[in-house]
Amino acid sequence: MKSDPVSKPPKAKTATPPAVHLQTIGPEEAGQRLDNYLLRWAKGVPKSHVYRIIRSGEVRVNKKRAEPTTRLIEGDVVRVPPVRIAEPAQMAAVNTAQTKSRARGYSDKMPILYEDEALLIVDKPAGLAVHGGSGIALGVIETLRITRPELKFLELVHRLDRDTSGVLLLAKKRSALVELHRQIREGQTDKRYYLLAHGEIAQGAQVMQLKFPLHKYLLANGERRVRVDPDGLPSHTALRVSKTFKKDEAAITLAEAQLKTGRTHQIRVHLQKLGHAILGDDKYGFEDQDKLIKSKRLYLHAHLAGFTHPRTGEKMRIESPLPKEFESMMKTFPQLVDE
């Protein structure tokens, strides 16, 4: 009687080794520095490694050595040596049906306020991060890249905190991104927010100019925070009170904040320093008072963005209506004063 042959275990599949990449620069990549192009293309590769392969001559532009500061032009051919690109968790999940379904759900809750060949402007809901990371698989940018695959270039022009809602600008052309970043840098944009704050803010007829220097730091768990500090960076918020409301011992104020600078958590920290933290702020707010009035979210909403169109030169003013949660909260308070 013959014994059964011993079956051989299947050979383990070997990973495909990384290969040399030849990248031809198109109109959307043109104009940027070589190092910035590579850092964006080779996501997950340590920055130090990117600079090493440039300086060692392993990266070539049109078969010649190049510097990190070399400006790329349309038609340039960039040779990139074999590198293993670490795939972030949010990108690894992109092709799954579950992720695509979730992205469609997020997209349905994100109305488009304006779109043309250069810009995409959406009304971001509270609770949705602008980009993935730190355990977040999908943010606004990943959602739109999945649901709008025909867009070959799409980048955030600016950011909003995860719990802040409202107008969010994205660029569909690199030239538009560069121009809008210039406008932001030179203070040529207008960004305004509606907020509901704890307490009755006494303002009078004048707009309040809040100018507290801000310092960024990290908690022990790595979470980012900001505090007012004499050695911090200058910041400026113009605050205009609209209405105040009172119910029993509690009061709230509806106000508009106009950013003159764009520091991290600027409006939230300025209102905290003023003694009137924003409703529902779990980082800089008043937890007991939030529980008392049953705050459901961070009551901060980017309602207006003003800028010059990067292609046409037209003055743009994009607005988002006051969210229903704001209206519902104010209805629970009798109006106290019209400013």
Render pLDDT for 102-119 as a digit per residue (tens, 0 to 9): 899 999 999 999 999 999
What CATH number has the domain spanning 189-338? 3.30.2350.10
Percent of the chain with pLDDT over 90: 62
Average pLDDT of the chain is 87
Instruction: Using DSSP, state whether 316 is helix, strand or coil.
Output: strand
- Low-confidence winner among 84-93, 232-241, 279-288, 319-328 (lowest mean pLDDT): 84-93
User: In Å, how far are 20, 111, 113 from 58, measured between CA atoms?
Assistant: 10, 45, 45
CA 131 to chain centre: 6
Note the CATH architecture for domain 91-180.
2-Layer Sandwich (3.30)
In DSSP terms, 224 is beta-bridged to: 218
Q: What residue ranges of the chain are covered by domains with CATH 3.10.290.10?
A: 21-80
Q: Which tops the pLDDT comparison, 320 or 250?
A: 320
Provide the pLDDT for residue 115. 98
**What local confidence, expressed as pLDDT, does residue 19 receive?**
76
Q: Give the CATH number of domain 21-80.
A: 3.10.290.10
Q: Residue 148 and residue 237: Cα distance in Å, rounded?
A: 35
Q: What pLDDT, in 10s, does the model give residues 211-222?
A: 999 999 998 888
Split at pLDDT 50, 70, 90, the class of 84 is: low
The whole-number pLDDT of residue 86 equals 47
Q: What pLDDT is stored for residue 135 in this prediction?
A: 66
pLDDT of residue 133: 67
The residues carrying an active-site annotation are: 161
Which of residues 60 and 86 earns the better pLDDT score? 60
pLDDT at 73 over 50: yes
The CA–CA distances, whole Å, from 202 to 194, 274, 275 equal 17, 11, 11
